[in-house]
Amino acid sequence: MFACKVMVLMSLNSKLPKRGTFSLFFGVLQSGLLLTFVWPQASWAGNVYVSRFWHNHQPIYWPEWSSNPQPERVQFAQDSINLKSGQVYDSGVAHPENDLAGIFSVGDRINAYQSGPRNSLANVNSGGYAMSYSGSLINNVASLGAANALGYGAGWWNGNREARNWTTSGGSRKMDLVGFTYHHSLGAVLPKEVFRKEIQIFKEAYYKAWNTGSVTNHSKGYFPTEMAFSHHMIDVLADEGYQWTIVASHHLSRTLPAYMGDPTYTAPEANSWKIYSSPPNAADQLGSASGGAWWFGTGNVGETARNYAPYAYQLHKAQYVNPETGAVKSLIMVPSDDIQSYKAGYSGWQKGLVDGNIAPYANDSSRPCLVMPATDGDNAWGGGSSSWDGDAPGLMNNGTYPGVAIQDFVNQYGGSADTVHIEDGAWIFPESDYGSPNFLKWVEPPVANSTATNRVYNTQVDIETPGFATKFYSWAPVIAGANWCQTAEQMMVSEGGSVQAWKIQDPYDNLGSRNYTNPNLAERAWHIYLAGLDSGFNYYGGLGNDDEIKSSLATRRAYELLASYVDARKATNDRTPPTVFKPQRFPYNPGAYTFGWVNSIPGGNTSALKKMNSEFYVWTHAYDVSGITNIVLKIRKDNDGVNSLASKVNEVYDPSALGLNAAEVGSWVSIPMTKRTLPSTAAALTAAANNSQIKYFSQAVSPVVADYYFARIDNNSFPNFRNNLFDYYIEATDARGNVSKSDIQHVFVADDAGGTGGGGGGATTGPVVTSPSPPVAG
């Protein structure tokens, strides 16, 4: 006999009490009685493990220069608190509009950002946690700790430093502080060199904050911001030394053709679509699995997922094929269960869901299942400390499914991982996105104004005029700023200089020597520009705060540093090609069902799920300091209708040059892209947004923004395009002859029978029109 652990109660689906009610090994009722239980003989065959992931982050709330004595860096939390009252500009209000003192003084955050993780992990008997801790959070907490403000002290990092040096029985770190983008930027859609900079400067802060001794001494694991992953990210992650990445389980399940096979949950035509994002495109359904079962789970109204066990809970590999050379890079994918993540974040993990839906199908001892909830570390349950102190140790010590550290699990079973395809997309938490494969919470198509007549049929989207949305426009200054920073770096390096990540990370080395590093113009520009990339700025979109202006302000400050330097050299030393935003398409599923709030027409057909016409658009933002002279969409048909993982042909620009079977695909067809210049003044932007909560102001609007480009695919541009699988990419050329090519993407175009479809499909109520309601641009 031995004493009951916390999760005995959890197996009865009871909610954990607040911290302090339970000790590690004893369930003590408030009356003082000690309960002891005998564990039943487990029927589990040893093929299911559990682990736990936490995400801690706060952004650089105002990407503006700080003040003396460190005026050449961005403002950290304590700086913005001190400077806010004087930062009014021509807006009439103080910035940032966020209440930083209120945000950082919450008790659960004080706990989660300092000693809480270590204290929680001390109660874990088997395995360990993985946790992300962003670079901007490191800066913010360090600034508050240095000021001994809001409950933070100089030893804020001691708990994580200690816990990181604890080891599991398998020899891995019990607290695995994983890789992350420094500023919580959305790596899945960032220009790759920007994504690379975010990773590189994160590693600089990481080794100093956690005292690892070397920038190369970091975790082998990576957590993508918002769990938003694309296999294109592997190109950078593999180069930067990462072995595995966490992914959302449903983006594995959705690649299985059988995902659409159960009419109970997945038949849009029968008005029973219970997933609040677009169905998968057939181009992504390349997976194969058998011997398991599907299960459907609901977190809240819209946070639903359908997963296949054991497939969605096993380790797999994803690969990236270089489109120029055909070289392959791969990464192990560690799935995080969507529904368990929601449950763990708001009420406690559900052992019964594992017992009934996953464990019965975990029959391969060489490829066991991992059930890993992933949540924010500072607001779980609306009170993060309860989750840290009770639910998480209870999960790891549950007595049925052994707790494991991710690295131990990868070390033991990663060698058996098969290579599969994974669909793009994020976790299911954000409303109006719910795990959509096109990142709809952070990237929106242009939305028509109330009088527009040029809409995509039966939607609010106006691709051609274009319309406007804050999450559409916000990427224009980001793309322009990237090109200025990349060009300045190229010029500086070609003239014998260097651009170093450690100087970009902090010009004053506040985590190390605290000495001024004497950064050059390019390093300073990267430093301020990157601070404007937080995905939260688009997540909240400026509704109730000033997020709509932050990326623009950061780009403006970078441009002000670089304008004279770059302009003086671009006629003779511009070797940097145009910067192109990751190509977007609308509708997501041409000729088939597409889901999104932009489909819901106020006063008209309010369904968010609609069957679309086969005609579709590909759009982007693109910019070059020397000007873009030509930009085209390249598209080709797949001749056999299958993009097999066994072939590289669909992934490369010129298969013949690489000795591959070019007969699998057709020739590239070039479709010229139409250019539109976006609003550039504060007044024009505010008018375009047409929302009382959105206000751009002149002293923060970037003077440089990317132009908008689109191409339409129809029978005129590509005859007989219906019912075909296509590869496509964008090629852009600047005035100096520099050429950029985007990565290749794929789409299956269903046949709409040549008609004007767009009729309403399934769910039309509930969470489908939530952000905002009624829908407005932005």
CA–CA distance from 137 to each of 99, 202, 512 (Å)? 16, 11, 16
Output the pLDDT for position 31: 30
Report the domain count for the chain.
2
Percent of the chain as helix, strand, coil, to the nearest 5: 30, 20, 50
Q: Are residues 135 and 252 in the same domain?
A: yes
Q: Are residues 153 and 246 in the same domain?
A: yes
Structure-token pair, residue 118: 């270590």
pLDDT at 23 over 50: no
Query: Kindly report the CA angle at 487 between 481 and 493, in degrees rounded to 5?
Result: 135
pTM: 0.92
Structure-token pair, residue 69: 């004595």
Angle between helices 475-494 and 550-567 (to 10 degrees): 30
Q: Which of 3-7, 96-100, 505-509 has the lowest mean pLDDT?
A: 3-7
Q: Are residues 413 and 474 in the same domain?
A: no
Q: Are residues 394 and 504 in the same domain?
A: no
In this structure, is residue 427 part of a structural domain?
Answer: no
In this structure, is residue 5 part of a structural domain?
Answer: no
Alpha helices (runs of H) in 294-358, residue ranges in sequence order: 338-346, 351-357
CATH code of residue 114 = 3.20.110.20
Q: Are residues 351 and 499 in the same domain?
A: no
Q: Are residues 728 and 656 in the same domain?
A: yes
Output the pLDDT for position 189: 98
CB 230 within 8 Å of CB 188? yes
Handedness of CA 408, 130, 400, 414 (dihedral sign): negative
Angle between helices 192-209 and 475-494 (to 10 degrees): 80
Q: Which residues of 115-145 are buried (b: 16+ CB within 10 A; e: fewer)?
A: bbbbbbbebbebbbbbbbbbbbbbbbbbbbb
Mean pLDDT of 193-213: 98
Q: Are residues 740 and 665 in the same domain?
A: yes
Q: In whole angstroms, what is the distance from residue 64 CA to residue 433 CA?
A: 30
The bridge status of strand 707-713 relative to strand 616-623 is antiparallel
Residue at 284: amino acid letter: D
pLDDT in tens, 253-283: 999 999 987 656 566 765 567 888 999 999 9
Q: In whole angstroms, what is the distance from residue 410 CA to residue 433 CA?
A: 30
Output the pLDDT for position 616: 98
CB 300 within 8 Å of CB 313? no
User: 532 in helix, strand or coil?
Assistant: coil
pLDDT in tens, 691-708: 999 999 999 999 999 999
pLDDT in tens, 622-653: 999 999 999 999 999 999 999 999 999 999 99
Q: What is the DSSP string of 578-625?
A: PEEPPPEEESSSTTSEEE-GGG--TTS---SEEEPPS-EEEEEEEE-T
Residues 6+ apart with CB under 8 A from 554: 63, 481, 528, 529, 530, 531, 532, 533
Q: Is residue 380 very low, low, confident or very high in pLDDT (cuts 50, 70, 90)? A: low
In this structure, is residue 91 part of a structural domain?
Answer: no
In this structure, is residue 280 part of a structural domain?
Answer: yes
Output the pLDDT for position 386: 84
Q: Are residues 591 and 488 in the same domain?
A: yes
Q: Are residues 502 and 400 in the same domain?
A: no
Q: In whole angstroms, what is the distance from residue 119 CA to residue 631 CA?
A: 55
Q: Residue 358 belongs to what domain range?
A: 48-61+98-419
Q: Are residues 405 and 521 in the same domain?
A: no
Run of H or E residues at 740: strand 739-741
Residue at 548: amino acid letter: E
Among the candidates 381, 401, 419, a domain finishes at 419
Q: Which residue has the tokens 């992300």?
A: 132
Output the pLDDT for position 22: 22
Based on its alpha-carbon atoms, the radius of gyration of the chain, rounded to whole angstroms, reads 26
pLDDT at 18 over 50: no
Structure-token pair, residue 649: 């042909």
Beta strands in 511-591 (DSSP E): 579-580, 584-586
CA neighbor of 566 nearest in space, from 517, 507, 525, 518: 525
In this structure, is residue 323 part of a structural domain?
Answer: yes
Q: Is residue 740 very low, low, confident or very high in pLDDT (cuts 50, 70, 90)? A: very high
In this structure, is residue 367 part of a structural domain?
Answer: yes
In this structure, is residue 72 part of a structural domain?
Answer: no
Residue at 398: amino acid letter: N
pLDDT in tens, 657-680: 999 999 999 999 999 999 999 999
Q: In whole angstroms, what is the distance from residue 727 CA to residue 744 CA?
A: 6
pLDDT in tens, 279-337: 999 999 999 999 999 999 988 778 899 999 999 999 999 999 999 999 999 999 999 99
Q: What are phi and psi of 418, to 5 degrees?
A: -90, 160
CA–CA distance from 348 to each of 215, 382, 395, 427 (Å)? 36, 12, 9, 18
Q: In whole angstroms, what is the distance from residue 254 CA to residue 250 CA?
A: 6
Q: 170: left (phi > 0), else alpha (psi -120 to 50), else beta?
A: alpha
Mean pLDDT of 405-416: 98
- Classify residue 65 as exposed, middle or buried by CB count within 10 Å of its CB (0-12, 13-18, 19+): middle
In this structure, is residue 447 part of a structural domain?
Answer: no
Output the pLDDT for position 681: 97
Output the pLDDT for position 313: 98
CB 177 within 8 Å of CB 166? no
Residues 6+ apart with CB under 8 A from 354: 48, 50, 340, 371, 401
pLDDT in tens, 555-576: 999 999 999 999 999 999 999 9
Q: Are residues 288 and 382 in the same domain?
A: yes
Q: Are residues 409 and 476 in the same domain?
A: no
- How many helices (H) and strands (E) would you count in the chain? 23, 28
Residues 6+ apart with CB under 8 A from 35: 3, 4, 26, 27, 28, 29
